[in-house]
Amino acid sequence: MDVTTPASDPWLIVGLGNPGPEYAANRHNVGFMVADLLAERIGGKFKRAGKAQAQVLEGRIGPVGPAGRRVVLAKPMSYMNLSGGPVNALRDFYKVPLAQVVAVHDELDIDYGTLRLKLGGGDNGHNGLKSMTKAMGPGYHRVRFGIGRPPGRMQVADFVLKDFSSAERKELDYLVDRAADAVECLVTEGLQRAQSAYNS
């Protein structure tokens, strides 16, 4: 296990997306979908986090009782390109080490449904990551959910703000479930174990 931080330090798990029903099923909102499933597993509901411009849920992931890892699930309620401010405010409030922040987000350069976990790195043009890195630096974990590249000449901005196709939706629940498993593995067993189990 390569989680070397004290079990008392919370993890901040951030699902990236855009607020509002018109964006709910977009490819760009898969981070929100994973966060919602994790909230369901924890058995709680998101609540508005005061001035932080985010919805949050506090709970535990892993073994029942004190052995479980403390987590704060968050969905920034700013738009994607302003995610860094709310995330950094939550990190300060909950005193979360940067290496225990996890961003769950869509990734264009990976085939649909493929997962990749890593610590640090660039933003690859993703506006949510760009904003987070500007606010905090790059040393946080990422759970990257592949959505593939846009077909033909479709613009990237149009592609990410469209809903998943009917063919993609057939697998979406399973893939979101697997991404939530990967987040739990990362938090409870460390990056190397999660990478070997879920990177494909």
Distances (CA, A) of 197 to 16, 37, 42, 152, 186: 23, 20, 22, 33, 10
Half-sphere exposure of 51 (CA within 13 A, CB side): 4
Q: Is 28 a catalytic residue?
A: yes
Token pair listed for 72: 């704060």
- Supply the DSSP string of 16-65, one letter for each residue: ----SGGGTTBGGGHHHHHHHHHHHHHT---EE-GGGSEEEEEEEESSSS
Choice among 28, 105, 126, 141 that is catalytic: 28
> CA–CA separation, 25 vs 159, rounded Å?
12
> CA–CA separation, 146 vs 119, rounded Å?
17
Residues marked as catalytic: 28
